[in-house]
Chains A and B, each alone.
Chain A
Amino acid sequence: MTANPVAKAFLILIVVAQFAVRGHAQQADPQFEALASRATEARNQQNIPLAIELYGETVAAKPDWAEGWFYIGLLQYSSNSFTAAIDAFNHFLKLQPDAGPALALRGLSEFETGAYDDALRDLEQGVKKRAAEEPRNEQIIRFHLSELLVRAGRFEEAVTQYDFFAAHHIKDPDLLVNLGLAGLRIQDLPQNIPLENRQFLETVGSAAYAYLSGDNEEARKQFDELFARNPATPNLHFFYGSLLYKNSPTLAIEQFRAEVEHSPGNVFAHAVLAFRLTIAGRYAEAKPEAEIALAADPDIEMAQIALGRALAETGDVKRTTEVLNKVLQKDPKNLEAHMGLADLYSRAGRREDAYRERMVCLGLAQ
């Protein structure tokens, strides 16, 4: 779905309102001010071609006039001239690099031109710089962001965007398809999905949406139906487990286990199962799962940590430190690895080493 006009209009109104206040203070030259006033008037009268032309003249006369560049970008965006919008926002952002709304608008424009990596970067920056603080802006920004996150393979972060949609009861077929893609860990955009696959993805998204909306019973019912009809679909159990994890680690682990039973080749699911079992203190069960994952992919960090922690329980200092230090070589600030070492040393009676590792953990957890 592209940005729908209504949502776009709201976005524009809100950023204009924020921006206009700052804009006037910068005007001094009477001739320039007259030109700027004409541009503003054209814009207010919805004469977009004329407004773009006049704003173009203002920035030609005064290339450091940020407001002019902003409105050119905004008007080009609302005219679906996305490449021109990006160009204008590029100028604007050189002058005001921290302007969240402009970053978000450039990101939305980039999305429309298919520059997805750039769009993701700009939308994330825009959100960080408070472009999504108004609910209607947030809706359109998070919608595109969630799609881009799925495309980038950042599925968990994509699902996180849906907390907002569920809280505001915002539901849309494309939203659900995208949620289905995130859940089944398919790196793609909803608009690329063939019609015959959309229904299934939408159903998966709908089950997840029910859960995110707090309707646990409905979610369970929908997922159970999905499991019954599609027992071999990769990541379906995994998705439900991921949703459940925050509230019910035990139920989540059951789903992760179901996933590896149905899809024994799902290495990531083995690693996650191992890791979650470790956090639940079920080390003996975690160890074989971690070993399966590591046999397929020796560098998978979650499985390394799970194996390390499971080994710590057995008191195998040498092998545990080997495994956990391997994690720390790549990521010296890995909290879980340091926690594993603290546990290991504590169990082994190495008081000072355990204390040191615990203090490292407390520092990392600040």
Chain B
Amino acid sequence: MSAWFALAWLNSLRILRALTGAGALGLLLCALFSGLQVSAASSNPATKPPACVNCHAGITASYSHAAMQHALEPPGSDPVLEAHPNLSVQQGKYLYIVQTRNGHSTYSVSDGTNTISVPIRWIFGQHSQTFVLERDGDMFESMVSYFQLEQRLGPTPGDGNIVPRDLSEALGRKITVWEALQCFSCHATDASKGEKLELDKLRPGVGCERCHVGADQHMADAVRGNFSSLPKSLRALNAEDAGDFCGQCHRTWDATVRNHFHGPSNVRFQPYRLENSRCYVGNDPRISCLACHDPHEQDNHNLISYDAKCLACHGKTAASSTSAVKSCPVSKTNCASCHMPKVSLPGGHVVFTDHFIRIARPGDPYPD
């Protein structure tokens, strides 16, 4: 489906939604569209298999810019490396070079005498990036990563204390099959079958099926006009379930506590941080991950835009579940700038918003 057709289709949707109930409309349009697909397919056997975009063009278009879609960048089309074709950094006695030419990126490490060069096969992250490399059948996490903040290479978080004994070790940290499974399961789609890595089949980034389990079956059924196998709606998740769902990759509160993940690094585990907040309660949709974040869209870095979410409870007219909810005596705007402070990861290359909502005073130690 061409872009203009998608746009026209979207506009039609908007108009029609205004006229009728969205749920019934969705079914109607999908049925209508699936009919088009079937007839198109029957007239042209070479037609591509059905895809989510066929019916969900708007969401698919917006999701194409979302961070999760870019959790893994395919080699050869990574805008970051294209924009920075010559990256290098000296780490101890080793010189690291990441070079991009004609859509191919190469990662090299040299001790001044010898050099190991490998193609970059997998690029983890959209802005700041770590590379997963393959050498002699083993996989390695690159010893250096690209950091957007400084627009240069630096030690990969967590690997900064590794002192390589030789050039081979300097290439990167060897990762086990199990570790690779975990990495790829959150950064890519269809990277494994069962518990076996199938990297030749992976699709970069978090695809629709990764969250909407059953989407493939739904598509297959939908083209035949059967809409009974819709994936479970995630919209209805309560805050607790949303935290557990998103926490599959962003770490749940339970997993963080159970594994004793302490220190500022756990600021990356947003469900854990959020659920430590005094205002958090699992049955209140106003504090769910989904209350503030639409996973189908790009992250919104305009903090003021989140004010309405806070004021949904802390505003004067908020229908709060208890009378104990306080309103802020300092400001009614830009809430997150004070109550969700920014935290630099150790090493300082990456900054995260702390989702532990609280009265945060300057100079306070990081609350675990």
- A349: Cβ under 8 A from any B Cβ: yes
Bound-state Cα–Cα, A250 to B248, Å? 13
* Cβ-defined contact, B178 with A248, below 8 A: yes
- A96: Cβ under 8 A from any B Cβ: no
- A354: Cβ under 8 A from any B Cβ: yes
A113 CB, min distance to chain B CBs, angstroms = 40
Which B residues touch A247, using CB under 8 A? 176, 178
Bound-state Cα–Cα, A250 to B194, Å? 9
Binds A, one of B18-26, B75-83, B139-147, B277-285: B277-285
* Cβ-defined contact, A248 with B282, below 8 A: no
Binds A, one of B28-36, B95-103, B125-133, B254-262: B254-262
- B331: Cβ under 8 A from any A Cβ: no
Which A residues touch B279, using CB under 8 A? 351
- A346: Cβ under 8 A from any B Cβ: yes
B229 CB, min distance to chain A CBs, angstroms = 20
* Cβ-defined contact, B282 with A361, below 8 A: no
- B302: Cβ under 8 A from any A Cβ: no
* Cβ-defined contact, A347 with B282, below 8 A: yes
A-B contact count (CB 8 A): 62
Q: Do A216 and B276 form a contact, CB below 8 Å, given A248-B195, A346-B282, A347-B238?
A: no
Which B residues touch A214, using CB under 8 A? 176
B207 CB, min distance to chain A CBs, angstroms = 20
Q: Do A362 and B238 form a contact, CB below 8 Å, given A247-B178, A346-B283, A354-B281?
A: no
* Cβ-defined contact, A349 with B257, below 8 A: no
Classify the secondary structure of A's interface with B: helix
- B43: Cβ under 8 A from any A Cβ: no
* Cβ-defined contact, B282 with A355, below 8 A: no
How many residues does chain A have at the interface if contact means C-beta atoms less than 8 Å apart?
Answer: 24
Residue A339 contacts which of B239, B254, B262 (CB distance < 8 angstroms)?
Answer: B254
Q: Do A251 and B195 form a contact, CB below 8 Å, given A351-B322, A358-B275, A362-B257?
A: yes
- CB 8 Å contact bits of B175-200 with A (1 = contact, 0 = none): 01110010000000000001100000
Interface bracket on B: 20 to 34
Which A residues touch B354, using CB under 8 A? none
Classify the secondary structure of B's interface with A: loop
Which B residues touch A351, using CB under 8 A? 279-281, 321-322
Bound-state Cα–Cα, A299 to B282, Å? 30
* Cβ-defined contact, B281 with A346, below 8 A: yes
- A335: Cβ under 8 A from any B Cβ: yes
- B73: Cβ under 8 A from any A Cβ: no
Which B residues touch A343, using CB under 8 A? 240, 254, 282
* Cβ-defined contact, B368 with A362, below 8 A: yes
Which A residues touch B239, using CB under 8 A? 346
Which residues 315-357 of A sit at the B interface, judged by CB distance below 8 A?
A: 335, 339, 343, 346-351, 354-355
**Closest A residue to B367 using CB positions:** A362
Which B residues touch A335, using CB under 8 A? 257-258
- A281: Cβ under 8 A from any B Cβ: yes
- A28: Cβ under 8 A from any B Cβ: no
Which residues 245-282 of B sit at the A interface, judged by CB distance below 8 A?
A: 253-254, 257-258, 260, 262, 275-276, 278-282
Which A residues touch B275, using CB under 8 A? 346, 358
Bound-state Cα–Cα, A281 to B181, Å? 19
- A365: Cβ under 8 A from any B Cβ: yes
Residue B244 contacts which of A281, A339, A350 (CB distance < 8 angstroms)?
Answer: A281
What are the nearest 9 A-B pairs in CB distance? A346-B282, A247-B178, A351-B281, A349-B283, A347-B282, A365-B257, A248-B195, A251-B195, A347-B240
Q: List 19 A-B contacts (CB under 8 A).
A: A214-B176, A248-B178, A248-B181, A279-B258, A339-B257, A343-B254, A343-B282, A346-B239, A346-B282, A347-B238, A347-B240, A347-B282, A348-B283, A349-B281, A351-B321, A354-B280, A361-B257, A362-B257, A362-B276
